Amino acid sequence: MLFALMLAAALVIVVRLGYWQVARHDDLNKLALALRERTMTEYATRGDIITNDGVLLATDIFYYEVAAHPHLIQNPKEQAQVLAPVLNMSEAELVQKLSDSSQQTVMLTLTAPVSAGKELTALRNAGKIGAIEFVAKPQRRYPGGSLAAHIVGFTSASRTGAYGVEQYFDELLRGRDGQIRAEADALGDETLPFDLPQGSPAVNGSTVVLTINSAIQSIVERELARGVQEFGAKSGQILVLDPQTGKILALASYPVPDLNAFSTTRLDAYADPAVSLPYEPGSVFKAFTLAAGLDSGKISRGIVLNDPGSVVIGGRTIYNSDRRGYGNVDLVTAMAKSLNVIASKIALATGPKTFYQYLHDFGFGALSNVDLAGEIPGTVKNPGDGIWYESDLGTNSFGQGIATTPLQMANAMAVIANGGKLMRPYIVDRIIRPDGTVETRSPYMIRRVLKPETAAQVTDILSQSILTESTNKARLPGYTIAGKTGTAQIPAPGGYDPKWTIASFSGYFPADNPQYVILVKIDRPQKSPWGSQVASPIFAAVAQQIAQLTGLPPDDVRKAMTK
């Protein structure tokens, strides 16, 4: 009887073993594998951002995140003793964290240096630590700090690009994280990776090479900061473009944030006013009104216009800024004295349809499609759109009642400088893929705006007007400058602010063979409201240093060399 019972029990055990080992074999195998297997992320390296002359602006630095599983640790004091020098932490702090068996996982540090990886691996292989998990993770660093900050942008804690190039080229820079499958031992430590063909290796991001020159960018940032502080201004922007190609050689806004401190800085500090903040440009705009009148044939180079001191357009009386009349004046005098009445008369002669077509051809009221995040199109009212009035033809002619960005203004001035072509501005010169292939970006002409002879006429008028304008401080010894000042009122509820202005100057040099377009815009200067007194000397300082830096010969030397 006893034997029969024992035999029956044995049969039950055999049957159950057979059930688990045969019928449930696959389920058990999957369960065991799930307990042993760990999928680890292999982080891709985000691509570098560098200047055209090789200065590193953004890069990834790897740190180790180190975590522990206290419920699996039997010797917290011994492990703390060997971990402390590796992680640069106190033994007491580590003992406390490693002894908290109520926690499944506790983070020891997020920023162990790269060298810690090898040391931790050696300690684990020697059996001195267990249930310690460590993984290398990249963190974005900006070696230049605030250098070109509004161009570069930053990456958030989730490694997503925000603002500037980081946002615009986020997908290219980011790359793709990979997955590695590994087995874990009884203490939760990963062993060698296995079954690698089933994993997906990380693909690093592409390197982005900018068009900007670090030396020119530094000049621009230094002179902008000095100018804002000297004139007690609120803020400002400077842009430097190559008018022949549309390359942005420098772009700066002030105040400027530190890219490494984004977590403690207001986000709007990183928005780039050069592309995202509209303003009424004021009298700089008269250069484009002049160009439209000449190119359309509605006025001629030698025309003389009468300035009685005011003109009525659409029931609105328009005055010169000093409320004076200047009688019969030529175009050079009109630009030198920045006469609103003459600009309005040129717009009237051109006619609304033609005038606004030229404004759109210059790129106003539309995106330039620059490769920077956050660009806005600005605002241009048009006849027939329900918000345009006839008086707008007069005020728009001298840059009032129209909203542009600094980049639009600089790029439009480049149209005159390069002989009449609207180029697409761009700030990325080339992209270097992870496999080493290079994508080089080429200049792109959007459209022809002016006839070459018109552009030459406007250049002649603007360069002569600077020489005859006694208060303009944009002159550069040895070089002929062409450009226009602006002193713009700032819109306020019910009209315009009675106190503050935006002082600006946009110009290019050498006038007969333009290499550089420079726009200087200073917001709310306290010492003087005038563009000729505030922005013009900053233009001259920047232009002089660029000429010295690049070895650009003075006009007489250059012309002698070409004979």
Distance CA 382, CA 356 (A): 7
SS3 425: coil
Distance CA 493, CA 529 (A): 20
For the chain, list residues with pLDDT below 50: 3, 7, 12, 14-15, 17, 19-20, 28, 31-36, 185-197
Which residues does 75 contact at the CB level (< 8 Å), separation at least 6? none
Domain boundaries, the chain: 61-138, 214-561
Amino acid 238: pLDDT: 98
CATH for 214-561 is: 3.40.710.10
Helices 286-295 & 406-417 angle (0-180, nearest 10): 40
Q: Structure pTM? A: 0.87
| Residue 543 CA: distances (Å) to CA of 174, 248, 485 | 37, 15, 15
Fold for domain 61-138?
A: Penicillin-binding protein 2a (Domain 2) (3.90.1310)
Cβ atoms < 10 Å from Cβ of 85: 10
Distance CA 162, CA 269 (A): 12
Amino acid 398: pLDDT: 97
Q: How far apart are the first and last CA of the chain?
A: 126
Please answer whether residues 140 and 58 qualify as being in contact, where contact means their C-beta atoms are separated by less than 8 angstroms. Answer: yes
Distance CA 55, CA 523 (A): 30
Cβ atoms < 10 Å from Cβ of 40: 15
Tell me whether domains 61-138 and 214-561 share a fold: no
